[in-house]
Amino acid sequence: MPQITIHSRKLDRIADASSACLVIPVFEDSPIADDLAQLDKKLSGTVSRALDLGDFSAAVGTSAALVGDQKIKRMLLIGCGKADDFDNGKQKKFAETVGRVLAAGKAQEATVCLERLGLDAKELAGLVEAVATEIVYANYVYTRTLSKPKNLPKLAKVYIAAGSAISANKTKAAISSGMAIGSGINFARELGNLPANICTPRFLAKQARSLGRQHAKLSVSVLGEKKMRELGMGSLLSVGHGSDEPSQLIVLEYKGGKAKEQPYAIVGKGITFDTGGISLKPGPKMDEMKFDMGGAASVLGTVRAVAELNLPINVVGVVAAAENMPSGRATKPGDVVTSMSGQTVEILNTDAEGRLVLCDALTYVGRYKPREVVDIATLTGAIIVSLGHEASGIFANDDDLAEALLAAGQRSQDRGWRMPIWQEYQKQLDSKFADMQNIGTGGAGSVTAACFLARFTEQYKWAHLDVAGTAFRSAPKGATGRPVPMLVEYLRARSG
């Protein structure tokens, strides 16, 4: 895909601009004023006549494309809603609209004017970053397995004119952060979208290794099945047992902080395809289970963004990758396995496999003495019943960590919602034949899944993100890259 570039541009009067597409934010309550009035005059009233028609309301999320002249070929009015109501959420929607409309258009170059919004330096930095992120996001198209790529965006170069309230250096820094986050999100989307015959556990390992080669502060190691067997990861290994693809435990160590500083850990469920195993899933929509490595993809995307942002903290990313298949060697309902922690598990349903790979990865990550651990998993269909596709479920054994993730989700507009992991739910996991069983006995399926994980995370501060409803969409079908925005924002806040 052609790589898009985004630059900072100084623009004293928008009427003097020259651009293939001038992007102009417009408030509902003051549509034509000052600089826009100058531009309108220069173009003999094109803008005011368009507004008088009433087709463009300037509500957030709306846009109107106008023809300009020789210098300003096109104008794109983007709605911003009411001036005193242009909060974080509206700004994010505005940025999304800019990205979406530019990516759908024919212009190869565009200039986004932000000065007329009248924001202060801090708000502008946030908005410039959001606009850069959304432009990179919107410019991603899946092409990898198409013989003739289609819908390739024409857009190649974008200028952001943020105005004089913010320095050129701060604008440039905000653009590169935005691009780093956008690239991290798109990396996660691409891994999610790839079919499971390409994106196998070993493919994920390869992607991680190649990421490691691109960043000096990042080192990557991969444990194969033999090593995992030596470590006693009987639970993780039971999931890939029916598959011809060997399971992989991928470890990414980013060292942006002091050598001895404790790391933040993120651990992703990397089921590259979830058939359900012997507890086979029904046929319809089973293809969507190629997205069951969304947690792993978000770990790789986040580590990539963290490295590009050069955050001054240490981060350990762990991916538990396996393929869940039925076969003569597959784990059967009723089988009992021993996890790395020593706890035994009766596997009553081989389709509840995410927790089985995660529990061993969570035990393993304990050796890094992490400050906090966040796992990310497309863990349960039940979380979609609870929260739909808007919020990721947040479960935590520590209030401060839960608050940090909720706040990071709010700021990045990649939101989560807290769910309980009360002791009362734990008894659903009691088993006659092992220390616990891998499914609950009825109700609150997302909670009992989290309760299972909680039994392996007592030694550290831990949160679990259930992203089954947010990591991908069925229509239009595709990976969203969530919760990379939330995770990057959380780690950025933790790095001060």
d(CA 361, CA 127): 37
425 Ramachandran zone, left/alpha/beta (phi>0; psi -120 to 50):
alpha
Distance CA 392, CA 407 (A): 13
Q: State the Cα–Cα distance between residues 352 and 337, nearest whole angstrom.
A: 14
Cβ nearer to Zn ion, comparing 239 with 488: 239
Q: Is 105 in the site for ligand BES (CB under 6 A)?
A: no
The option from Mn ion, ligand BES, Zn ion, none interacting with 138 (CB < 5 to 8 A, set by class) reads none
Start-to-end C-alpha separation, the chain: 35
Pattern 372-411, ligand BES, x by CB under 6 A: ------xxxxx-----------------------------
Q: Dig out the tokens for 215 from the structure.
A: 């960043």
Round to whole Å and give the CA distance between 213 and 149: 28
Minimum CB distance to ligand BES, residue 446 (Å):
8
Using CB under 5 A, which residues numbered 273 to 292 contact Mn ion?
274
Calpha distance 388→393 (Å, rounded): 10
Six-digit token string for 299: 């770990």
Q: Using CA atoms, how far apart are residues 377 and 299, in angstroms rounded to an integer? A: 10
- The DSSP annotation for 135-185 comes to HHHHT----TT-SS--S-----EEEEE--TTS-HHHHHHHHHHHHHHHHHH
Nearest distance from C-beta of residue 92 to ligand BES, angstroms: 25
Say whether residue 274 binds Zn ion (CB under 5 A): yes
Span 349-368, contacts to Zn ion by CB under 5 A? 354
- Please, what is the minimum distance in Å from the beta carbon of residue 419 to ligand BES? 14
Distance from the Cα of residue 328 to its chain's centroid: 36
Structure-block tokens of residue 183? 């690239």
Per CB under 5 A, does 466 bind Zn ion?
A: no
The residue from 90, 304, 355, 455 that is catalytic is 355
Of 96, 115, 134, 351, the one binding Mn ion (CB under 5 A) is: 351
Q: Write the Ramachandran bin of 58: left for phi over 0, alpha for psi from -120 to 50, otherwise beta.
A: left
C-beta atoms surrounding 354 within 10 Å: 29
Dihedral sign, Cα of residue 119, residue 122, residue 125, residue 126: negative
Q: Is 226 designated active site?
A: no
The nearer residue to Mn ion, 356 or 451, going by C-beta atoms, is: 356
Minimum CB distance to Zn ion smaller for 268 or for 354? 354
Cβ-based nearer residue to Zn ion, 354 or 485: 354
Find the shortest distance in angstroms from Cβ 353 to Zn ion: 6
Could you tell me which of 77, 71, 21 has the C-alpha nearest to residue 47?
Answer: 77
Q: How far apart are CA 25 and CA 44, in angstroms?
A: 20
423 to 462, contacts with ligand BES by CB under 6 A? 439, 445
292 binds Zn ion (CB under 5 A): yes
Which segment (29-37, 349-357, 428-436, 455-463) binds ligand BES by CB under 6 A?
349-357
C-alpha closest to that of 388 among 446, 322, 449: 446
CB 76 within 8 A of CB 22: yes
Beta strands in 388-446 (DSSP E): 392-396, 416-418, 436-437
Q: Which of 180, 352, 402, 491 binds ligand BES (CB under 6 A)?
A: 352
Binding region for Zn ion (CB under 5 A) out of 101-109, 239-247, 270-278, 403-411: 270-278
For position 351 contacting ligand BES by CB under 6 A, the verdict is yes
Pick the piece of the chain touching Zn ion (CB under 5 A) from 224-232, 272-280, 414-422, 462-470.
Answer: 272-280
Contact window for Zn ion (CB under 5 A) among 133-141, 292-300, 333-341, 408-416: 292-300
- Residue pair 92/58 in contact (Cβ under 8 Å)? The answer is no
> Helices 445-454 and 354-365 sit at what angle, rounded to 10 degrees?
30
Catalytic residue among 73, 281, 332, 473: 281
Residues 290-329 that bind ligand BES (CB under 6 A): 292
Specify the stretch interacting with ligand BES by CB under 6 A; choose among 69-77, 232-240, 347-355, 425-433. 347-355
String of contacts with Zn ion for each residue 8-47, x by CB under 5 A? ----------------------------------------
* 377, β-bridge pairs: 466
Is 82 designated active site? no
Q: Does 346 bind ligand BES (CB under 6 A)?
A: no
Using rule CB under 6 A, residue 466 touches ligand BES: no
Site residues for Zn ion per CB under 5 A: 271, 274, 292, 354
Site residues for ligand BES per CB under 6 A: 274, 292, 349, 351-354, 378-382, 439, 445, 468
User: Which are the catalytic amino acids?
Assistant: 281, 355
Site residues for Mn ion per CB under 5 A: 274, 351, 353
